[in-house]
Amino acid sequence: MLKHVFVGAVTCLAAAFLAVAPRAATPVPNVPGSWKLVFSDEFSSKTVNREKWTLCYWWDKSGCTNLGNNELEWYLPGNVSQARGKLNMDARKQSVIGWKGQTFPYTSGMVTTGRDYSETRAARAQFTYGHIEIKAKIPRGKGLWPALWLLPSTLKSLPEIDIMEVLGDTPQQLHLHFHYLDAGGKAQQPGETVTTVDLSAGWHVYGLTWDPDVIRWYLDGKEVWSFTDKRYIPSAPMYLLMNLAVGGDWPGAPNALTKFPSRFSVDYVRVWQRTTQ
């Protein structure tokens, strides 16, 4: 009888706690305004949510890369993992055969909210305007190139909004760019390089507010650059990409001091849209 009384008391106490325990608050952006959360991933499960993420560019064919930049990595799904509330993209010194028999000396990982090669739907998640915050930790090392960016859901290459790019041998420099075609059809790429702390030494929040008349970039809640020529600000849906490139025209190849495997980790991704424009 005493056992039943004890169990009943514990049950009552648990019920009372649940009745008064506050629900987890919906995250709010670190910028002024009235916002509604429209997409998020806290990466709390053991595996990548494939309803939210694809594991390559949309031209995926058993892997992918960006030939336009002469990058040295071949992206593979096996280089993307999820554990302890983090999404991890690992670059490895691993020779593989990729596009048209070409040998790539490295493999790496990427995720996007775009579509798979075999699918007809536009994207898993796409946005027109809003505010994005991504908490991430980048790797350090020559030839490593972590990036967070947006591309149009039309599958065109422009416009492109780069939320964050860092070259692994200069982790104290945050590179921000906006790529677009001007009225004459000429490609433009205004940008800003922000000198800051060593971004590879800890976690940081990279943010972007995309409005019809301005695009604003943030680092740890502080605005660091803006683009205000509304003639060229995108007004059509875009999707999110997160990747760890290796080599290419801009960062150059890794050197003997670059450690492999190297990891680009993401703690959360959150996207809001204004409740009133």
Average confidence score pLDDT of the chain: 90
The bridge status of strand 73-75 relative to strand 103-108 is parallel
3-state secondary structure of 95: strand
Q: How far is CA 22 from the centre of its chain?
A: 30
The reported pTM is: 0.90
Q: Round to whole Å and give the CA distance between 206 and 219.
A: 5
Say which CATH topology domain 34-274 has.
Jelly Rolls (2.60.120)
The bridge status of strand 262-274 relative to strand 204-210 is unpaired
Q: Round to whole Å and give the CA distance between 240 and 134.
A: 11
Q: Print burial letters for 68-78: b (CB count within 10 Å at least 16), e (below 16).
A: eeebbbbbbbe
pLDDT bracket for residue 16 (50, 70, 90): very low
Bond into 27 cis (ω within 30): no
8: pLDDT strictly greater than 50: no
Look up residue 173 and give its two tokens. 């420099």
Q: Are 103 and 97 in contact (CB under 8 A)?
A: yes
Q: How far is CA 61 from CA 57, 113, 222, 253, in A?
A: 9, 17, 39, 24
**Run of H or E including 146:** strand 144-152
Bond into 212 cis (ω within 30): no
pLDDT bracket for residue 59 (50, 70, 90): confident
Question: Is the sign of the CA dihedral 54, 111, 259, 203 positive or negative?
Answer: negative
Per-domain boundaries in the chain: 34-274
**Would you mind telling me the total number of residues written for the chain in this entry?**
277
Q: Round to whole Å and give the CA distance between 187 and 179.
A: 7
Q: What is the pLDDT of residues 256-271, one digit of tens each?
A: 999 999 999 999 999 9
User: Which pLDDT belongs to residue 2?
Assistant: 37
Alpha helices by DSSP H, listed for the chain, are 2-20
Q: Round to whole Å and give the CA distance between 73 and 68.
A: 13
Q: Round to whole Å and give the CA distance between 256 and 267.
A: 29
Closest CA to 60 of 107, 104, 98, 101: 98
Average pLDDT over residues 247-254: 97
For 158, phi and psi rounded to 5 degrees?
Answer: -135, 150
Closest CA to 216 of 132, 149, 155, 139: 132
Q: Are 146 and 166 in contact (CB under 8 A)?
A: yes
Count CA atoms closer than 13 A to 119's CA, side-chain side: 15
Q: Round to whole Å and give the CA distance between 156 and 183.
A: 17
Q: Round to whole Å and give the CA distance between 277 and 180.
A: 24
pLDDT bracket for residue 17 (50, 70, 90): very low
pLDDT bracket for residue 111 (50, 70, 90): very high
Q: What is the pLDDT of residues 199-234, one digit of tens each?
A: 999 999 999 999 999 999 999 999 999 999 999 999
Block residue for tokens 């325990």: 21
